[in-house]
Amino acid sequence: MRSLRRPELARVRVVHTAAAVAVQLGVSEDLVRLMAEELSDEDGCILVLGITDEDWTPAFTDQGIDAVRELIAEFSQLDLSLNATCPRP
């Protein structure tokens, strides 16, 4: 017999877009998106999909914002330019 219990679901009610996190942290949205590539849903980062495959934005829980802040600090300690662009071939 199948269980009638509902599966446990995460209770996240509010997330912040990459644009909002960028403003909050005083960095570029591109940098926040780059940091999001290193995070998962377990870190507090989810993807919000739009109409097309290219239409998406990362969104962050409060825990996710903390994770972005920590990643930025780690990258800063590596003495890398976080806003540098890749040279064109």
Q: Which 3 state secondary structure label does DSSP give 78?
A: coil
Q: What is the pLDDT of residues 39-79, one digit of tens each?
A: 999 999 999 999 998 888 999 999 999 999 999 999 888 76
28-64 burial, b if ≥16 CB within 10 A, otherwise e? Answer: ebebbbbbbeebeeebbbbeeeeeeeeeebbbbbeeb
Q: Write down the domain spans for the chain.
A: 16-77
3 vs 27, which has greater pLDDT? 27
Spatial CA neighbour of 71 closest among 34, 22, 19, 21: 34
Q: What is the pLDDT of residue 88?
A: 44
pLDDT surpassing 70 at residue 7 = no
Q: What is the pLDDT of residues 16-37, one digit of tens each?
A: 999 999 999 999 999 999 999 9
Q: Is 0.75 surpassed by the pTM of this model?
A: no
